[in-house]
Structure 1
Amino acid sequence: MSDFSPGQRWISDGEAELGLGTVLNCDTRSVTILFSASQETRTYNTRQAPLTRVMFGSGDRIQSADGWQMIVDDSQTSNGLITYSGEDSQGQRRELPEAKLADTMQFDQARDRLLTGQVDRNDWFDLRFRTLHHHQRIEQHSALGFAGPRIDLVPHQLYIADEVARRHAPRVLLADEVGLGKTIEAGLILHRLLLTGRAERALILVPDSLTHQWLVELLRRFSLNVTLLDETQSQAHGSANPFESAQLVLASQGWLFANTHRQEQAQASHFDLLIVDEAHHLDWSSEGSGPGYQCVEQLARDIPSLLLLTATPEQMGIESHFARLRLLDPERYHDLARFKDEERHYGEVASAIEALEALPATPDARVHVEAVADDRDSQALLATLCNPEASADQQDAARDQLRDALLDRHGTGRVMFRNSRRHVGGFPERRLHLDALALPSAYRRMQRRLERDDDYLDELLIETGMDHPDVLIYPDAAYRELSNDPLHGEPWWHIDPRVNWLLEKLSDDSDAGFANDKVLVIAHHRDTAEGLAEGLRVLGGYHAPVFHEGLSLVERDRAAAAFADEEDGCQVLVCSEIGSEGRNFQFCRHLVMFDMPQHPDQLEQRIGRLDRIGQRHAIEMHVPTFTGSPGERLMRWYHEGMDAFSAPHGIGSDLFDAFGDALADALLDDEMLDEIITETRELFVAKLAERDAGRNRLLELNACRPVRARQVVEAVRELDDDSALPRYVERALDVFGVDSQEIGNGLLHLQPGQHMLDGLPGLVKGEEGFSATFDRHKALARDDIQRLSWEHPLLREMMGRIIDGTMGNTALALLGHPAIPSGRLMTELVFRTHCPAPTSLHLNRFLPPTAVRVLLDESGANLTDKISFTGLGKNLQKVNKSLARDLIKRHHDALRGLLRQGEGEAERELPSIVEAAEARMRTQLDAELARLAALAEHNPSVRNEELDALKKERQALSDAIENTRLRLDAVRVIITVDPNA
């Protein structure tokens, strides 16, 4: 007789996703089952049917085809069909024949899957429990979001990322000097916000020339897949909003700033974070603003978080700097006059902070601190610091707390972070090499006439169409304009001695030459760069890629890549002035400045392409100048007036504002130039002293607090050195069907196995896979090696599938142990906390999904504390699925009882978990709220909405934690057997 009857409900063991099936007809050989939910019909051999009968017991919740639910308390069987009875949600007694069960009932919970005979592999169960354990640990770790990126552990970068990313809706200006890693800081902040759920969508606006560099950096360093959006891509979406097509959108500023329709679409797309690179180009003045500023201003009103990046925040003047701060907080920065007045008081605060270091040994220093420590808490700390009866530890603690309080409460430190090289340290030496060349006759004739004929400059400006003083500084450009008829003039590079000088340097293998070294050449004009590359090719046979604003993004990337290739790459790259912004060439140590830029900030940007974190050699700066020329005089002003080549000082813009016009007039007059250099030097020295005493020093002190920075670095290193990571990766790769092979030197090669599960990042069936390492330094040394960490996309995908899915939530194993009689039943239950809350709350930092393990024997005895998970696992034996299903059927009633008892045992653990989470939350947020509330009384940069948001967040977290419940996550049935059988 067949066990099947029409109307019975069964599920497929191999295709559980088909849902609940109904027997249509059957005979002695076959059975046909309809899976209505998936509109599939299957016919099986009755002898080998991979099917499990669905039978519910007392306490199970079931749903009818009509939508109502009931809790089963009894059942009766008639003619092979079951009728369930129990109470519905209104407390009414009802009956429900199994034929009328809802077809859409899902058996994804561990209890349902177990009792319907669906069991997974034992190693899957093992991996699930370990995944829960590691996920709980990592989600609470202070380095979450910072440990995965492929970066050096630079303290100031990690400090800024940690300080900014922990804020509600952060809005800051990242203004580190060139080469200190603003892009990395922004990437770290973005990565942390994404991993913690604080942000889900981001819009990144960068100059046209940097879009591909950002795209590659975010992928290579942070494993973030970003969609590069341009007009072609936008039009491909038809009438749909293209900004809705991805979570992370990268777009060029030039494209978006010029297109009001796309701006409106971007505004309507509800981004959480806006990042704007090279923000000093946003044009603003008291008379009006440019399209770029207007676009960012509109977006910043709707987007909660905003990061502005610029290495030269005051390049366009104090008003322009104020305008960028106004984008961050228009309520705080609404009065330019008031802002200028605040700036005048920063020297007092910087002096007070410096004076702290002299206390209590130098009592006279106290007066400087008292001038700004005007609140009760600060005065109490100062009293402790100066109290001779206080211990050294008490005095040190008071000094640190008072320093942090003063830094918090004064200046723009909360909205602006600016580190300087002198503050960070560890940068290479800069060496200036000057080569004086004779003016060629064509240039000399033009200069002599300029020197003796006052009217000739006006004529030259008209004839060439150039501006003053460009026409003086760039004689090759003037020559090109005057001899633009190819029949009446040689190409300028035929007559310019700087070209031959460069060719000689490129072939010179002495210490003074460039032979076998990479050389970056920067010229002001695009035409100069193109002509120079042509001259190098024709006269010397050198292939020199050109990087200028007229190239497409792909062409620029190709030129940069050809230069970067160590083995087959080009020796020299020629850039126009645009090459001094954004691109990083720290693998190169020779910089040729073919001419001089007009603005000191542009000069520093040129040098900053090589002088960056990661540069391992001294920077060799080569400047060919024409003796007695305006270009040489400009170089003298930089060199003698402000030491511009020795180090970045950050005050070049002020000096240019003071002397730029006079300098332009002195480019033909040595006597006048000497006076300007003397005056520039005097102002330079004064400005340095002012900077050291005032706002810049204050910003530097606030931009990296060493104690906190060291704590963040150590937290990252703790995850780097986590010995559990390689063991977990090995288990996970095996379960997911990924082949892993050691290839030496601490490297692994991962490739898809024959039975690999689909959809794993970086692994596609039929393709080679990738090489990886756990070592940060090895990954940094080779771009072709990925670094495996808890934050790597592959690990996050595998852990996510396990935690969010059913994988491994049921299992059955045999336990052979001489001390335990065979035939006994045990259940290993894993419960986990369930706490629905918006991802933006980042509840996991206080209460991530937390596992509670309960081990019961068949008598109900709790063995959890006596037998560990690892110890039990070592003695378990796997069993095939067919036998596992038979054993579960045999112990059905006993398992139901143990499941109910396990729930009670687990519930006893819940109060302590909730209490600990609440305490962690209160400890952190109460302290932060108290700090911000005190800070708001002194520093208007603390926004009211930031305080309100933190209060609401604390309440929402408290409510969520209080409503935490436990649910059964996984269950393993263990049957004891005779080990000698």
Structure 2
Amino acid sequence: MSEFSPGQRWISDGEAELGLGTVLNCDFRTVTVLFSASQETRTYSVRQPPLTRVAFGSGDRIQSAEGWQMIVDDSKEIDGLIVYIGEDDQGQIHELPEARLADTMQFDQARDRLLTGQVDRNDWFDLRFRTLHHHHRIEQNPALGLAGPKIDLIPHQLYIADEVASRHAPRVLLADEVGLGKTIEAGLILHRLLLTGRAERALILVPDSLTHQWLVELLRRFALDVTLLDEHQSQAQAETNPFESGQLILASQQWLFANPHRQTQAQACDWDLLIVDEAHHLDWTPEHSGPGYACVERLAATTAGVLLLTATPEQMGMESHFARLRLLDPDRYQSLERFKTEEQGYVRVAEAIDALERLSGDNRSNSDDRDCIGAVIDDSDSQALLDTLLDSESGPPQRESAKAQLREQLLDRHGTGRVMFRNSRRHVGGFPERHLHLTTLELPSPYRRVLRRLARDEDYLDELLIETGLDHPEVILHLDTMYRALADDPLNAEPWWQFDPRVTWLLELLTDVGHDKVLVIAHHRDTAAGLAEGLRVLGGVHAPLFHEGMTLVERDRAAAAFADEEEGCQVMICSEIGSEGRNFQFCRHLVMFDLPLHPDQLEQRIGRLDRIGQQHAIELYIATFEDSPGARLLRWYDEGMDAFSAPHGVGSELYDAFGDVLADALLDTNGLDEIIEETRALFATKLAERDAGRNRLLELNACRHDRAEEVAQAIHELDDDPALPRYLDQALDIFGVDSQELGSDLMLLQPSPQMLDGLPGLVKGEEGFTATLLRSRALARDDVQRLSWEHPLLREMMGRILSGTMGNTALALLKHPAIPPGRVMVELVFRTYCPAPKRLHINRFLPPTAIRVLLDESGANLSDKVSFSGLSKNLQKVKKAVARDLIKTRHDRLRELLSVGETEAERELPSIVEAAQFRMRNSLNAELARLQALSRHNPAVREDELQALQDERTTLDTAIENTRLRLDAVRVIVTVDKDSR
């Protein structure tokens, strides 16, 4: 019966949770099996497939697809298929073809292995039971998926990840300010979705310059194995779709957006999640969509979950912001004009929330505040809460509870946080100060000559624009660029860095800061290259370059050379590309060799250093030439919008308002003071509008601190779990991994010659890796992995134990003076079995649950009298040959005890199922009621989200109701005389 035939029933050795499979078809190379209970199909090679044929014997109880059961008495084979003959519960004789077996049946490997004398070591049995116990705890922990990554526990990041990853098909815009950790938020969401089974495949699109950074971040922080796809790799897979080469695909936006054929291949794949970084670069207007926007729009239309990341959601105006939201929910965001009108209404909601905060104590009689809140309340629940808050008979606890609930309802029902999350630095807090160091230098004669000619010759500017290919007024800000553009002029034969005083100023600065790292950003790559040469020639300073003309590998090498604390370079010089996405948080000195024209670009530069977790004040250094365009732009930034003190998020609007007149003022100081004054006035107005309207609501909604604290506490519980080091030691020993203590809470894990193959990060003959159990130690060193319950190594070991046969049978000897020798005891571990699609994450309500039954030879249940740990420590191992003989002599009695144990375990199943249904209904009913109420007020709640939650509740209810028990492991215990050896 080893050959495959359609209709035969098999189970997966590695994925027992899939349930009973049916062979659909087979040929000389492959066999395809349908696992109906879990809605999965698998194709295996016919050469040593990880499958076991299901064949029941006399005395086994089996179940039909219609639900009735029978005891097998005999069987026959017809055309390769088994037909079972037996008696049902009413005594009727039936024939049951294997094709009509219930899909939810599970092949009882432990029982058959035991009765055929196949036994494992006792420590394997112990590890299996403890694995099942710990897996049950961890799967129900509310921090599952968030506790393993190597990150600081920052409240707003934890809240966003917990909120978004808990939704069905999350589609959101992550728009935190620069440096607040959008990449970490996206990684946390992805990590949790993968661990809970809600996502299996993800496509991550990032700017070309950030592909390696994302690859490293996902590996180091989240231990995610990501496939970096480019054209070279795609061509190497010419016969297949390259986007099918991995579960997690990371690709360059520039590469994909420019290649229609690759776009078609990407769109042909089934993705669970699409992540797009720097989404503000996607070009859209009501009349036209750029190629990048059109590509993402097509992918988003067929992908359930979408995460868009941008630090500047309104960098290109309200229209650009609307375009991002339109990608997330095109039905909700159809009209730009309607969207603008809706945005204006958020002012009233923000004012109502502020008024609510003032309603306490004697202020409850304030009629203006009451009217302000009442104006946005349009349902009886909210009105009842307001009445409780205003009622003089209500006690302080009642009023505080009513206020908290009403605040949550106003944010939920009228806020914009369902679609967009934006935290600001002032809201998050804890950021370092910024110190601005200004130096004014004398304008060198070559630059002065160029500026004088610009002043007297209006046509000269047009010539410069043609020569440089730059736009006005950018060309006049970068005097070295103008100088290089006029290389044909005999007066311009000398390299600019030989006379530019900023070079010597920078050399002096490098000496002044000692050994501290210094990042230098210049606008143009040619400026960066010339500056590096100048530092080398004039000061003997080696400075790696980082610009768009280099390959990704070259850029990564430069960044690594700069980051190395012991042997790295003190200074690195970047073109403007260094101000997007890269994290140089280890550095606190930033030199802006020139100034960018746009305020958002200025903030992007500072944001490379000024990031959450930065431990030092940020030192900003700018040298300008006296009475130059750069000095005037600096005044506009500093005096007009206080741009260097902190990010304000309104720079784009100020530039839109004053960019044209500012361009003229950069060459002519007339009118500059007036422009600065008007900028300052508009700056104050925009800040007030931001605080009053949508941004105020976004800040309130982007981090619910109570919930963030609950998540952090759950993570701390897993971090400090005393069972983890004990379990880890036992698992490493059994799987053949050597662990060497290195001191300072570090350990070196290395494969031993006996190590089982296929463990993540461990390959026989290679060095292994350094690890720690402490979050703080792991964060301090990039080369140290953090071991947690979610680390791939532990999950792999636990997965192998739970899905395979390892340790599911054992035999041990017990010496006890109160028990006569020769007696038999059986320790049975049953496990709940509930096949359901992974996307339901049924384990949060009913993870595999162990039921332990300890029977003596008479069938008496001793489970409550003798604990697992108490019994295990008194057991002794026995040779396998002896164990097989002992089982053979007790074969009939063991079969009877297995049946008794099943009956005992079945008594406990109803209470387990009832508790799981109670947890599920409590959770989903409350969430469904909340979303249904929210949908009546906030159109950001999609109809498909409500329907999906209703379907999920129904499917989960059915799945939990169909929970069955299967024998997971069995240990035979034989008592011996105390003098026996």
TM above 0.5, yes or no, is: yes
Secondary structure of the corresponding residue to residue 670 of structure 1: coil
Contact 2:486–2:492 (8 Å) recurs in 1: no
Structure 2, gaps ≥5 residues long: 1-12, 15-44, 49-53, 64-68, 76-82, 98-105
Cα distance change, pair 85–849 in 1 and its aligned pair in 2 (3 A): closer
Cα distance change, pair 905–149 in 1 and its aligned pair in 2 (3 A): same
Aligned mates of 2:218, 2:739 — CA distance in 1: 26
Partner of 1:973: 972
Partner of 2:340: 340
Between 1:339-348 and 1:740-749, the stretch displaced more is: 740-749
Between 1:450-459 and 1:560-569, the stretch displaced more is: 450-459
Where in structure 2 are the equivalents of 1:484-499 lying within 5 Å?
A: 489-499=493-503
Cα distance change, pair 692–56 in 1 and its aligned pair in 2 (3 A): closer
Partner amino acid for 1:583? R
Match of 1:482 among 486, 489, 498: 486
Partner amino acid for 1:302? T
Partner amino acid for 1:650? G
Aligned mates of 1:291, 1:583 — CA distance in 2: 25
Structure 1, gaps ≥5 residues long: 1-14, 17-36, 41-53, 64-68, 76-83, 97-105, 508-512
Q: Aligned-pair distance for 1:752?
A: 1.3
Q: Aligned-pair distance for 1:342?
A: 1.0
Q: Aligned-pair distance for 1:978?
A: 1.7
Q: For residues 583-637 of structure 1, what are the alpha-carbon distances to aligned partners after superposition, in whole Å with 9 as ceiling and x for unaligned? A: 1101111100001101100000000000001211110000000010001100110
Partner of 1:170: 170
Cα distance change, pair 976–484 in 1 and its aligned pair in 2 (3 A): farther
Partner of 2:275: 275
Where in structure 2 are the equivalents of 1:770-785 lying within 5 Å?
A: 770-785=769-784
Secondary structure of the corresponding residue to residue 851 of structure 2: strand
Partner amino acid for 2:895? R
Partner amino acid for 1:226? V
Aligned mates of 1:107, 1:311 — CA distance in 2: 53
Partner of 1:127: 127
Aligned mates of 1:533, 1:559 — CA distance in 2: 13
Q: Aligned-pair distance for 1:462?
A: 3.6
Aligned mates of 1:832, 1:85 — CA distance in 2: 26
Q: For residues 407-438 of structure 1, what are the alpha-carbon distances to aligned partners after superposition, in whole Å with 9 as ceiling and x for unaligned? A: 11124211000000000000001000000011
Contact 1:342–1:411 (8 Å) recurs in 2: no
Secondary structure of the corresponding residue to residue 722 of structure 1: coil
Partner amino acid for 1:679? E
Cα distance change, pair 380–446 in 1 and its aligned pair in 2 (3 A): same
Aligned mates of 1:118, 1:93 — CA distance in 2: 32
Cα distance change, pair 486–979 in 1 and its aligned pair in 2 (3 A): farther
Contact 1:343–1:411 (8 Å) recurs in 2: no
Secondary structure of the corresponding residue to residue 602 of structure 1: helix
Aligned mates of 1:407, 1:546 — CA distance in 2: 47
Partner of 1:578: 577
Q: Aligned-pair distance for 1:539?
A: 1.2
Q: Aligned-pair distance for 1:70?
A: 9.7
Q: Aligned-pair distance for 1:517?
A: 1.2
Aligned mates of 2:56, 2:219 — CA distance in 1: 50
Q: For residues 158-210 of structure 1, what are the alpha-carbon distances to aligned partners after superposition, in whole Å with 9 as ceiling and x for unaligned? A: 00000000000000000000000000000000000000000000000000000
Q: Aligned-pair distance for 1:113?
A: 0.2
Partner of 1:622: 621
Partner of 2:543: 544
Aligned mates of 1:207, 1:438 — CA distance in 2: 39
Cα distance change, pair 95–957 in 1 and its aligned pair in 2 (3 A): closer
Aligned mates of 2:276, 2:47 — CA distance in 1: 51
Q: Aligned-pair distance for 1:88?
A: 8.8
Between 1:189-198 and 1:361-370, the stretch displaced more is: 361-370
- From the CA coordinates, give the structure whose radius of gyration is larger: 1
Match of 1:442 among 432, 446, 453: 446
Partner amino acid for 1:717? H
Contact 2:464–2:485 (8 Å) recurs in 1: no
Partner amino acid for 1:891? R
Aligned mates of 1:113, 1:461 — CA distance in 2: 83
1:244 aligns with 2:248: no
Q: Aligned-pair distance for 1:740?
A: 1.5
Partner amino acid for 1:469? P
1:432 aligns with 2:436: yes
Aligned mates of 1:845, 1:123 — CA distance in 2: 29
Aligned mates of 1:546, 1:39 — CA distance in 2: 53
Partner of 1:530: 529
Partner of 2:19: none
Q: Aligned-pair distance for 1:746?
A: 1.6
Secondary structure of the corresponding residue to residue 591 of structure 2: strand
Q: For residues 68-127 of structure 1, what are the alpha-carbon distances to aligned partners after superposition, in whole Å with 9 as ceiling and x for unaligned? A: x9955489xxxxxxxx9953999768999xxxxxxxxx9970000000000000010010
Partner amino acid for 1:863? L
Between 1:377-386 and 1:273-282, the stretch displaced more is: 377-386
Q: For residues 40-89 of structure 1, what are the alpha-carbon distances to aligned partners after superposition, in whole Å with 9 as ceiling and x for unaligned? A: 9xxxxxxxxxxxxx9997413799xxxxx9955489xxxxxxxx995399
Cα distance change, pair 815–683 in 1 and its aligned pair in 2 (3 A): same
Aligned mates of 1:397, 1:939 — CA distance in 2: 23
Aligned mates of 1:639, 1:897 — CA distance in 2: 86
Aligned mates of 1:107, 1:351 — CA distance in 2: 63
Contact 2:811–2:883 (8 Å) recurs in 1: yes
Cα distance change, pair 492–108 in 1 and its aligned pair in 2 (3 A): farther
Secondary structure of the corresponding residue to residue 288 of structure 1: coil
Q: Aligned-pair distance for 1:386?
A: 1.5
Q: Aligned-pair distance for 1:860?
A: 0.8
Partner of 2:207: 207
Match of 1:452 among 442, 456, 460: 456
Secondary structure of the corresponding residue to residue 358 of structure 2: coil
Where in structure 2 are the equivalents of 1:798-877 lying within 5 Å?
A: 798-877=797-876
Secondary structure of the corresponding residue to residue 435 of structure 2: strand
Between 1:86-95 and 1:829-838, the stretch displaced more is: 86-95
Contact 1:417–1:699 (8 Å) recurs in 2: yes
Aligned mates of 1:560, 1:415 — CA distance in 2: 35
Partner of 1:563: 562
Match of 1:391 among 388, 395, 403: 395
Aligned mates of 1:94, 1:543 — CA distance in 2: 84
1:377 aligns with 2:377: no
Contact 1:197–1:841 (8 Å) recurs in 2: yes
Aligned mates of 1:459, 1:92 — CA distance in 2: 100
Between 1:796-805 and 1:737-746, the stretch displaced more is: 737-746
Q: Aligned-pair distance for 1:450?
A: 2.2
Partner of 1:601: 600
Q: Aligned-pair distance for 1:400?
A: 1.2
Partner amino acid for 2:379? D
Secondary structure of the corresponding residue to residue 939 of structure 1: coil
Secondary structure of the corresponding residue to residue 397 of structure 2: helix
Contact 1:127–1:808 (8 Å) recurs in 2: yes
Partner of 1:10: none
Cα distance change, pair 921–70 in 1 and its aligned pair in 2 (3 A): closer
Contact 1:810–1:971 (8 Å) recurs in 2: yes
Cα distance change, pair 485–458 in 1 and its aligned pair in 2 (3 A): closer
Secondary structure of the corresponding residue to residue 811 of structure 1: strand
Between 1:340-349 and 1:204-213, the stretch displaced more is: 340-349
Contact 1:164–1:189 (8 Å) recurs in 2: yes
Between 1:855-864 and 1:284-293, the stretch displaced more is: 284-293
Secondary structure of the corresponding residue to residue 574 of structure 1: strand
Partner of 1:43: none
Partner of 1:407: 411
Partner of 1:723: 722
Q: For residues 217-244 of structure 1, what are the alpha-carbon distances to aligned partners after superposition, in whole Å with 9 as ceiling and x for unaligned? A: 0000000000000000001111210001
Q: Aligned-pair distance for 1:980?
A: 3.1
Partner of 1:34: none
Contact 1:381–1:402 (8 Å) recurs in 2: yes
Q: Given the two structures, how large is their TM-score scaled by the length of structure 2? A: 0.90
Q: Aligned-pair distance for 1:459?
A: 3.7
Aligned mates of 2:734, 2:491 — CA distance in 1: 75
Partner of 1:661: 660
Q: For residues 685-720 of structure 1, what are the alpha-carbon distances to aligned partners after superposition, in whole Å with 9 as ceiling and x for unaligned? A: 111111111111110000001111111111111110
Partner amino acid for 1:146? L
Aligned mates of 2:112, 2:320 — CA distance in 1: 65
Contact 1:464–1:482 (8 Å) recurs in 2: no
Partner of 2:517: 518
Partner amino acid for 1:219? L
Aligned mates of 1:39, 1:207 — CA distance in 2: 43
Q: Aligned-pair distance for 1:977?
A: 1.1
Contact 1:55–1:116 (8 Å) recurs in 2: no
Secondary structure of the corresponding residue to residue 671 of structure 1: coil
